[in-house]
Amino acid sequence: MQTVNHRHLWRVTLLLQWCYVLVGCAAAAYPLQHYEAAYTKAALETPDPDPAKLARLSQADVARVTHGRYLVQIVGCAACHTDGALIGEPNAARQLAGSRLGIAYTSPFQSSYPGVAYPANLTPDPKTGLGNWTDAQIVAAIRNGSSEDARGHLVIMSWPLYQQMTDEDVNAIVIYLRNIPAIEDEIPKRIAPGTRASTPYVYFNVYRSGPELQIH
């Protein structure tokens, strides 16, 4: 009959207890445990240009507005820049007027409170939208992901894909945005990492492993 090594059994029991503790701590510390997958809606319709504004344009510029609207549609600007487009139901009265659903732009594994940006109001409202932006500033935002309220590139925007747009295409987007109805809608300011956001937000990034995590 085989005897039981009580000292060995005690060590195994203690080791198992520590494993349960560590697993429990890891689960509690995992930064995405309270999140669920969010999927964007199908490409949204873009707002009609303002008829009064179109009436003042030349036939050539009206054609550029039409082309700009087509480009905004196919690149999916409204999917982020419209309230309710990512989660819930899109607000048809506020197309392209920005979103109060934030998008995290820093790693969820570095801080419990990531940096959060909010898709801007793209309508020509002078107070809360692009009304006081120059054409060059709008072009920079499209091609470089730069904005007036923060330095550097906005990593959650697909600006690297838009860099290959021709000047004709980018300028068509600008003239289209200039000629849609202006909607006054103040969007929250960007939140720095380490600051708790007061609104819901989603993660849109992919993070690579660092050198210390590489498998050899």
Where are the chain's structural domains? 51-207
Q: What is the pLDDT of residue 24?
A: 39
Q: What is the dihedral of CA 172, 178, 179, 185, to 10 degrees?
A: 130
What pLDDT shows up at residue 9? Answer: 44
How is residue 123 written in tokens? 């309508």
How many residues in the chain? Answer: 216
CB of 202 closer than 8 Å to CB of 38: yes
Please, are residues 32 and 108 in contact by the beta-carbon 8 Å criterion?
A: yes
- Residue 105: its pLDDT value, please? 85
SS (H, E, C) the chain: CCCCCHHHHHHHHHHHHHHHHHHHHHHHHCCCCCCCCCCCCCCCCCCCCCHHHHCCCCHHHHHHHHHHHHHHHHHCHHHHHECCCCCCCCCHHHCCCECCCEEECCCCCCCCCCCEECCCCCCCCCCCCCCCCCHHHHHHHHHHCCECCECCCCCCCCHHHHCCCCHHHHHHHHHHHHCCCCCCCCCCCCECCCCCCCCCEEECCCCCCCHHHCCC
| Average pLDDT across the chain, whole number | 79
Tokens in use for 28?
């509690």
pLDDT of residue 51: 97
Check residue 53 and give its pLDDT. 97
Query: Residue 12: what pLDDT?
Result: 41
Alpha carbon distance 119, 97 (integer Å): 9
Give me 72's structure tokens: 């905004």
Model confidence pLDDT, tens digit, residues 104-159: 888 877 778 888 989 999 999 999 999 999 999 999 888 887 765 544 446 667 77
The identity of residue 211, as a single letter, is: P
Note the pLDDT of residue 108: 78
- Extract the residue ranges of the chain whose pLDDT is less than 50: 1-4, 6, 8-29, 150-153, 215-216
CA atoms 54, 143, 72, 105: torsion sign: negative
Helix (H/G/I), strand (E/B), else coil: 103: strand
**What pLDDT was estimated at residue 30?**
52
